[in-house]
């Protein structure tokens, strides 16, 4: 990314007042932590910025500092702000249906790292090679000569650790490792590791068990899929946050290259996709109206599990048919 792009984005962040900072729905660590880091590093409180969060914060992310400063979209009026900054997503629809009707007449900006980014607006900083949106923000801060306080350092490190599986995944970049190393003296590594990867709710454990119980294979063992039906989720009081990243267990079977988890919610089914190198689930998700990374993506489709699942599995099988051809 050129210095000019950084200069333009930094100028906007320095001068824009009355702005909403919005991440994607069903928030993960990178989405939430990046919002918090931007707000603190660029004096959002002084400029009347507002971090907007509609969904519940997953239990394992409640260690992030200053979450209480986020506001619900129900509290907003169009007259309260002049601009919207999308963080860790490239399209307003990825934030939830609430934002679309509030955008007319507002400037629209974006900071994101997803390869499926299809942003159309006034200004964007999109780096698909970055491990996380938090990596981009950390690089912006370094370029501008800004030094994070301890709370902001925790957010930036957690954003990168969350999206890289604690720097184990293929998307880990040399820049992410270097920037993370600069933050290490300010971060409790044990706390971050435990909270991000080991701190689970009772409902989350039950959803994990249901996923493993339901798992099936297809395409000669290269495709593994499972589902969490609405009745099971209601039985244990599980929310969308309790299902986060359970899809990863579909990919641990030997020989599996594509894993899918179906979650049945009221009126729609959420799909999470994971794959090994050589496949691209971002393209699969885009064909179904979603998006994400090359190796990790997702989408939502209106309907019930018994009608949505066959359609998505048929689409997923085409990934292997293309390979054969």
**Per-residue pLDDT tens over the stretch 102-155:** 899 999 999 999 888 888 899 999 999 999 999 999 999 999 999 999 999 999
Q: Domain check: are 244 and 193 in the same one?
A: no
- For the cut 80, the answer to whether the pLDDT of residue 91 exceeds it is yes
Percent of the chain whose pLDDT exceeds 90: 79
**Secondary structure class of 56 (helix, strand, coil):** coil
**What is the C-alpha to C-alpha distance for residues 173 and 144, in angstroms, rounded to an integer?**
21
pLDDT at 1: 53
Residue 207 structural domain: 202-324
pLDDT at 323: 59
In the sheet that holds 268-275, the strands lie side by side as 216-218, 223-228, 258-265, 268-275, 296-302, 291-292
Q: How confident is the model at residue 325 (pLDDT cuts 50, 70, 90)?
A: low
Domain boundary among 135, 167, 197: 197
Average confidence (pLDDT) over 1-17: 89
- For the cut 90, the answer to whether the pLDDT of residue 88 exceeds it is yes
Average pLDDT, the chain: 93
Q: Domain check: are 28 and 143 in the same one?
A: yes
Six-digit token string for 267: 């009126």
**Secondary structure class of 291 (helix, strand, coil):** strand
CB 109 within 8 A of CB 121: yes
Average confidence (pLDDT) over 244-256: 93
Percent of the chain whose pLDDT exceeds 70: 98
Give all strands (DSSP E) within the chain, no chain letters. Answer: 19-22, 50-52, 83-87, 107-112, 123-126, 216-218, 223-228, 258-265, 268-275, 291-292, 296-302
pLDDT at 18: 97
Average confidence (pLDDT) over 77-100: 90
Q: Domain check: are 142 and 103 in the same one?
A: yes
Q: Domain check: are 213 and 188 in the same one?
A: no
The total number of structural domains in the chain stands at 2
CATH number of 170's domain: 3.90.1640.10
**What is the C-alpha to C-alpha distance for residues 163 and 296, in angstroms, rounded to an integer?**
10
Average confidence (pLDDT) over 77-97: 91
**What is the C-alpha to C-alpha distance for residues 265 and 109, in angstroms, rounded to an integer?**
31
The dihedral through the CA atoms of 138, 168, 25, 291 has a sign that is positive
pLDDT at 292: 84
- For the cut 90, the answer to whether the pLDDT of residue 324 exceeds it is no
For 179-230, write each residue's pLDDT tens digit. 999 999 999 999 999 999 988 889 999 999 999 999 999 999 999 999 999 9
Six-digit token string for 242: 């309790």
DSSP 138: H
Average confidence (pLDDT) over 77-99: 90
**One-letter-per-residue 3-state SS of 168-184:** CCCCCCHHHHHHHHHHH
Helix (H) or strand (E) holding 121: none
Average confidence (pLDDT) over 60-78: 94
Q: Domain check: are 181 and 232 in the same one?
A: no
Q: What's the Rg (C-alpha) of the chain?
A: 19
Domain boundary among 142, 167, 197: 197
For 299-309, write each residue's pLDDT tens digit. 999 999 999 99
Phi/psi at 42 (5° precision): -115, 25
Q: Domain check: are 182 and 217 in the same one?
A: no
Q: Domain check: are 228 and 137 in the same one?
A: no
List of residues 6+ apart from 233 with CB closer than 8 A: 207, 239, 242, 243, 263, 264, 265
CATH number of 246's domain: 3.10.310.30
In the sheet that holds 83-87, the strands lie side by side as 50-52, 19-22, 83-87, 107-112, 123-126
Average confidence (pLDDT) over 28-53: 97
Domain boundary among 138, 168, 197: 197
Q: How confident is the model at residue 322 (pLDDT cuts 50, 70, 90)?
A: low
**What is the C-alpha to C-alpha distance for residues 73 and 304, in angstroms, rounded to an integer?**
28
**What is the C-alpha to C-alpha distance for residues 162 and 240, in angstroms, rounded to an integer?**
18
pLDDT at 154: 98
CB 180 within 8 A of CB 160: yes
Q: Domain check: are 35 and 172 in the same one?
A: yes
pLDDT at 96: 82
């Amino acid at each position: 990314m050129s210095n000019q792009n950084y200069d333009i984005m930094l100028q906007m962040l320095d001068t824009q007042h009355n702005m909403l900072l919005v991440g994607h729905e069903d928030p993960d660590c990178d989405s939430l932590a990046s919002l918090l880091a931007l707000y603190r590093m660029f004096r959002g409180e002084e400029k009347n910025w507002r971090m907007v969060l509609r969904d519940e914060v997953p239990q394992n992310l409640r260690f992030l500092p200053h979450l209480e400063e986020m506001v619900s979209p129900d509290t907003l009026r169009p007259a309260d702000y002049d601009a919207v900054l999308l963080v860790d997503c490239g399209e307003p629809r990825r934030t939830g249906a609430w934002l679309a009707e509030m955008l007319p007449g507002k400037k629209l900006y974006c900071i994101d790292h997803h390869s499926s980014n299809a942003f159309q607006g006034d200004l964007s900083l999109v780096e698909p090679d970055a491990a996380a949106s938090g990596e981009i923000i950390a690089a912006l801060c370094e370029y501008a000569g800004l030094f994070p306080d301890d709370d902001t350092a925790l957010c930036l490190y957690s954003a990168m650790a969350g999206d890289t599986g604690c720097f184990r995944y293929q998307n880990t970049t040399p820049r992410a490792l270097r920037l993370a190393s600069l933050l290490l003296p300010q971060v409790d590594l044990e706390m971050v590791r435990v909270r991000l990867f080991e701190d689970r709710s009772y409902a989350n454990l039950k959803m994990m068990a249901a996923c493993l119980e339901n798992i099936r294979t297809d395409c000669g063992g290269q495709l593994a899929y499972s589902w969490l039906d609405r009745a099971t989720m209601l039985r244990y009081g599980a929310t969308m946050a309790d299902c986060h990243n359970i899809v990863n267990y579909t990919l641990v079977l030997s020989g599996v290259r594509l894993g899918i988890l179906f979650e049945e919610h009221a009126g729609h089914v959420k799909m999470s996709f994971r794959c090994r190198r050589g496949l691209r689930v971002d393209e699969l998700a885009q064909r179904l109206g979603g998006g994400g990374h090359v190796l990790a993506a997702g989408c939502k489709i209106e309907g019930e599990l018994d009608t949505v699942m066959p359609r998505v599995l048929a689409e997923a099988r085409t990934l292997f048919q293309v390979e054969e051809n």
